[in-house]
Amino acid sequence: MKDSPDISRIASLIGDPARANILTALMSGKALTATELAGEAGVTLQTTSAHLAKLDGGGLIRPRKEGRHKYFTLASEDVAQVLEALMGLAAGSGHLRHRPGPRDPELRQARVCYNHLAGDMGTRAYDSMTACDFLQHSTKGLTLTDAGHGFVTGLGIDLEALPPSRAPLCRDCLDWSERRSHLAGRLGRALLSHMQAAGWASRLDGTRVVRFSPQGLTAFDRAFPIP
């Protein structure tokens, strides 16, 4: 229909291989410079600048200036959700850009999806919270139950102190490697931040990999048991 949203423009922006690589790199949640993104895209800095201008104009990324440096991030969590869903569709259809590398098992186990935990550990946490009736689906979408509020508070997360955002408290995000949901939204972000602050897990520099320490794995299994 001619009066419906124009998805062709967004699709064309994402569909270019270099721009797709740029967007995938920004799924780490980190702000990156044009030079760093040129390395991810595999093109020259001048070409990268042209791609960044198009992505910015399309509302997919947001430039940020800090002193003399200019950084780029994804424009919103909605963009990250679309990209994760497209990754799942591509993986499910067999459209892989390269053979599995040594870090692929780690990415599948635990990784950052923009600002929350994804991979096997992410879906396990989601499944556990759902099985324990901490998360519940309703006409309003995914919600945190009273029992879930108590669980989160018991972990040491103050829901009232979460930064204000247009993002919902809880949201399903389809995991590209597990083909099941993990938890996104402000609570998903808070849980990952808690795991890092508590020393359960840390980010592997330069990647989206999240590594859990042996003690962190024990704490995770205790907090998120699977019936």
- SS3 category, 95: coil
Read off the pLDDT of each residue in 72-81 and give the average, rounded to a whole number: 89
Is 100 exposed, middle or buried, given 0-12, 13-18 or 19+ CB atoms closer than 10 A? exposed
Q: Which of 86, 77, 83, 70 is nearest to 37 (CA)?
A: 70
Read off the pLDDT of each residue in 14-35 and give the average, rounded to a whole number: 91
Read off the pLDDT of each residue in 113-120 and give the average, rounded to a whole number: 92
pLDDT reading at 96 higher than 60: no
Average confidence score pLDDT of the chain: 89
Lowest pLDDT segment from 27-31, 89-93, 111-115: 89-93
HSE-up of residue 31 (Cα within 13 Å, Cβ side): 10
Q: What fold, for 7-75?
A: Arc Repressor Mutant, subunit A (1.10.10)
Residue in this structure with the two tokens 């001619």, named with its chain if needed: 2
> Rounded distance, CA 44 to CA 143, Å?
45
Reported in sequence order, the residue ranges of the chain that DSSP labels E, i.e. its strands, are 32-33, 61-66, 69-74, 111-113, 116-118, 135-138, 141-144, 171-174, 181-184, 201-203, 210-212
Read off the pLDDT of each residue in 65-74 and give the average, rounded to a whole number: 88
Percent of the chain scoring above 90 in pLDDT: 60
Read off the pLDDT of each residue in 38-63 and give the average, rounded to a whole number: 94
HSE-up of residue 89 (Cα within 13 Å, Cβ side): 6
pLDDT reading at 3 higher than 80: no
pLDDT digits (tens, 9 = 90+) for 141-170: 899 999 999 999 999 999 999 988 788 999
pLDDT digits (tens, 9 = 90+) for 207-221: 889 999 999 999 999
Torsion angle, CA of 29/10/120/162, rounded to 10 degrees? 40
Q: Where are the chain's structural domains?
A: 7-75, 79-223
Query: What is the model's pLDDT at position 167?
Result: 84
